Structure 1
Amino acid sequence: MRYVYNNPKLFFKGGIMKNIVFDIGNVLLDFHPQEFLKGLGFEKNIEDRLYKLIFLSDEWKELDRGSIDYEVAEKIFKTKAPDLKKEISIVLDKWHEMLIPIEANVNLLKSLKDYGYNIYYLSNFQKDVYEKMYNKHDFLRIGNGGVISYQVNTLKPDHFIYAILLSKYNLNPSETLFIDDNFDNIEEAKKIGFHSVLFTNCDELKNSIKPLL
């Protein structure tokens, strides 16, 4: 059994857990579209319309799924709201700017990696912006692998995307901890046999995972 004492804030006792799987949005990168829209200076009613039109749309999910691209999605959005064509272009051009690293969780990921745990990613994410984030942030490149929704045309919490991750890297779910901010995603992972923790805040995450490591 491995004991690690050199970080006073974290204590990993080296139990049966070998693999840690991180969601990305709202676990490693902030994703708060309503706050982002407020910062663009639109009137409140325009903010509300754009939020529903874009971020709550079926097209947004299909972008995550990889079944449509931005050009197609943008045409659909502008067809639905022709009076907001300029605003739609601004949002689609700038929304990736809200994806700011959650430093405490990034540091946690790096510590877990340093302590010898295998790190994986499992996230619903759109191709173009994921590639920007991957090239920009080293913490998305230091893991052992991952599955991103657009790569497999499947979204969490569909059972299939978890099965792909397990099969691709020959992981045993009983030796794997999954961290996500979405309750449905966590529940599906538990059904498959993952140890799972729902992320609510950084301090609570550290406390929740300690007994599992």
Structure 2
Amino acid sequence: MSKIDTIIFDLGGVLIDWNPEYVFLDVFNGDQEKTRWFLDHVCTSDWNENQDAGYPLAQATEDRVKLFPEYEKEIRKFYGDWENMLGGAIHGMVIILRKLIDSKQYKVVALTNWSAETFPIAQARFEFLQWFEAILVSGEENTRKPFIDIYELALNRFNIKPENAIFIDDNLRNIEAAKTLGIHGIHFTTSEKLKIQLETFNIKI
């Protein structure tokens, strides 16, 4: 196995807890079934991912209101109240991030699906986002994971050899795409499991 010299982190779901249910459970008075239906059929993950690839939030909102006028108020809350969808840092992961950086053995960067319009909110809230050597934000590049071009962009911009890099993401689809370019992948579930997974690459936390 090639020596690992680069760790690439996803952010949402790995280092930052983000969940639209934090807003919409309140909107629907704690009704989980209504909340789930709304997020599965109206403000869907596919729709939100389009904004992660650079589509303007305001236009996306108007598009959705035209499709579901009966849910106009709720749709406008998606980005209008977006900040309250941020839960907090995933603390075990922040500790791992700090240890990897402090070891000075690895280039530590981030590759995230995130709207360029909302990412500054996260940057202001989470100090650890300043620790990375670099962050590639999908919304700033008008593409997103799992499209291959965003991985190629990260490899070229950050001077990464794929065989020397590990990509950590909570979405298996994104991991599989990275692997097609020769990047090693770890499907993130918990910080404790990640420590064990990193050991298979001779990385001890």
Please confirm whether the aligned pair reaches a TM-score higher than 0.5, indicating the same fold. yes
Matched, 1:62 2:50: yes
User: Any stretches of 5+ residues in structure 1 without a counterpart?
Assistant: 1-14
1:94-109 map, 5 Å: 94-99=81-86, 100-109=88-97
Change over 3 Å in CA distance of 1:182–1:44 after alignment to 2: closer
Deviations 1:24-75 (A, max 9, x none): 11001112333542133445565244312113343x2221100x21110111
1:82-121 map, 5 Å: 82-99=69-86, 100-116=88-104, 117-121=106-110
Q: Distance in 2 between matches of 1:203 and 1:38?
A: 29
TM-score normalised by structure 1 residue count? 0.85
Structure 2 counterpart of 1:162: 151
Structure 2 counterpart of 1:151: 140
Partner secondary structure for residue 91 of structure 1 = helix
Match of 1:76 among 63, 77, 88: 63
Q: Distance in 2 between matches of 1:148 and 1:155?
A: 8
Deviations 1:183-202 (A, max 9, x none): 11111111211121000112
**Contact 1:33 1:55 (8 Å CA) reproduced:** no
**Contact 2:21 2:85 (8 Å CA) reproduced:** no
Structure 1 counterpart of 2:14: 27
Q: Distance in 2 between matches of 1:44 and 1:81?
A: 20
TM-score normalised by structure 2 residue count? 0.88
Q: Distance in 1 between matches of 2:36 and 2:200?
A: 42
**Contact 2:14 2:170 (8 Å CA) reproduced:** yes
What's the RMSD between the two structures over aligned residues? 1.9
Aligned length: 197
Taking only the aligned residue pairs, the percentage that are identical comes to 27
1:123-202 map, 5 Å: 123-202=112-191
**Contact 2:114 2:137 (8 Å CA) reproduced:** yes
Q: Distance in 1 between matches of 2:36 and 2:187?
A: 28
After the TM superposition, which parts of structure 1 deviate over 3 Å for at least 4 consecutive aligned residues?
39-46
My pick for the range that moved more, 73-82 or 37-46, is: 37-46
Change over 3 Å in CA distance of 1:178–1:95 after alignment to 2: same
**Contact 2:167 2:178 (8 Å CA) reproduced:** yes
1:21 shift after superposition: 0.4
